[in-house]
């Protein structure tokens, strides 16, 4: 079986889930995923739940990218290693070099909390925003736009990851993009309100993604200022 990876972002964390052997001749797909992750993010989580074999070069790849992430002030964390991988990490003493977590959620939360500790109070002058949408381009646009206006923004395409982000950090705004799933919205808004009664929630209408950037900026900032509820 060839190595396969699934990639997504969860707030400030890039998540890569592996299935198959991480060995010489099969690693290019993982290397490419790690390189993509480090282009925008400096905290990576690699889920090894589907990995039954790792050779020396495969382990070297993980160590190399962990070092690269740490040089940038971030980290690479391993999640859900199989018994084979756990044993290998212990035998090679790399368990003391790489951060290992029993679950993917635990690894992501550790990365998010590390990010918040590093950021301190300097980042969010106007509040923290969680943006949910299936479009990576729209997420990138909203992150960049609101950051320029003094907000700290994290984004995800998955409702399950949104719950992790709400667990890891206080949010002042919850924004559902036009391509976010509809069903779990009420439970997410309810969770936000229970933890942060003064937080605001919004839903962007489908035509938002078709507005020119200046119109979209004005509409979004108007909603943020009004502090309505989705």
Q: Are residues 146 and 205 in the same domain?
A: yes
What CATH number corresponds to the domain at position 217?
Answer: 3.40.50.2300
Residue pLDDT tens, the chain, 230 long: 799 999 999 988 999 999 999 999 999 999 999 999 999 899 999 999 999 999 999 999 999 999 999 999 999 999 999 999 999 999 999 999 999 999 999 999 999 988 777 665 454 468 889 999 988 889 989 998 998 898 988 899 888 898 888 888 788 999 999 888 665 777 888 877 787 788 888 889 888 988 889 999 999 999 888 865 54
- Six-digit token string for 195: 């933890």
Q: Are residues 156 and 191 in the same domain?
A: yes
What CATH number corresponds to the domain at position 20?
Answer: 3.30.750.24
Give the integer Cα–Cα distance in Å for 61 and 52: 16
Count of domains forming the chain: 2
- Domain that residue 37 falls in: 4-116
DSSP states of 3-66: -EEEEEEETTEEEEEEES-B-TTTTHHHHHHHHHHHHH-SEEEEEEEE---B-HHHHHHHHHHH
DSSP states of 75-135: EEEEES--HHHHHHHHHTTGGGTSEEESSHHHHHHHHHHHHHHHHTTSS-SS-EEEEE-S-
Final residue in a domain of this structure, among 51, 86, 116: 116
Final residue in a domain of this structure, among 61, 87, 116: 116
Residue with tokens 């001749």: 25
Residue with tokens 């590093």: 118
Q: Are residues 102 and 166 in the same domain?
A: no
- Is residue 124 within 8 Å of residue 151, measured between CB atoms? yes
pLDDT at 124: 47
Q: Are residues 111 and 125 in the same domain?
A: no
Q: Are residues 110 and 56 in the same domain?
A: yes
Half-sphere exposure of 38 (CA within 13 A, CB side): 21
Q: Are residues 66 and 153 in the same domain?
A: no
Final residue in a domain of this structure, among 98, 116, 134: 116
- Is residue 6 within 8 Å of residue 29, measured between CB atoms? no
């Amino acid at each position: 079986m060839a190595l396969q990876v699934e990639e997504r972002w969860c707030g400030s964390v890039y998540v890569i889930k592996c299935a198959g052997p991480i060995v010489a001749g099969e690693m290019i797909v993982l290397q490419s995923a790690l390189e993509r992750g480090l282009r925008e993010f400096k905290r990576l989580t690699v889920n090894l739940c589907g990995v039954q074999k790792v050779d020396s070069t495969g382990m070297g790849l993980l160590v190399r990218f962990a070092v690269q992430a740490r040089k940038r002030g971030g980290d690479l964390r391993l999640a859900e290693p199989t018994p084979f991988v756990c044993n290998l990490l212990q035998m090679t003493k790399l368990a003391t070099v790489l951060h290992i977590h029993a679950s993917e959620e635990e690894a992501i939360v550790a990365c998010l909390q590390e990010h918040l500790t590093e950021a301190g109070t300097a980042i969010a002058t106007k509040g923290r925003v969680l943006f949910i949408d299936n479009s990576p381009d729209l997420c990138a646009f909203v992150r960049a736009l609101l950051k320029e206006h003094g907000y700290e923004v994290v984004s995800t395409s998955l409702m399950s990851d949104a719950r992790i982000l709400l667990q890891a950090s206080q949010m002042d705004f919850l924004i559902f993009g036009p391509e976010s799933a509809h069903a779990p919205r009420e439970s997410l808004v309810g969770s936000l309100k229970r933890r942060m009664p003064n937080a605001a929630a919004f839903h962007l209408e489908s035509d938002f993604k078709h507005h020119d950037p200046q119109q979209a900026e004005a509409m979004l900032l108007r909603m943020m200022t009004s502090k309505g509820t989705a």
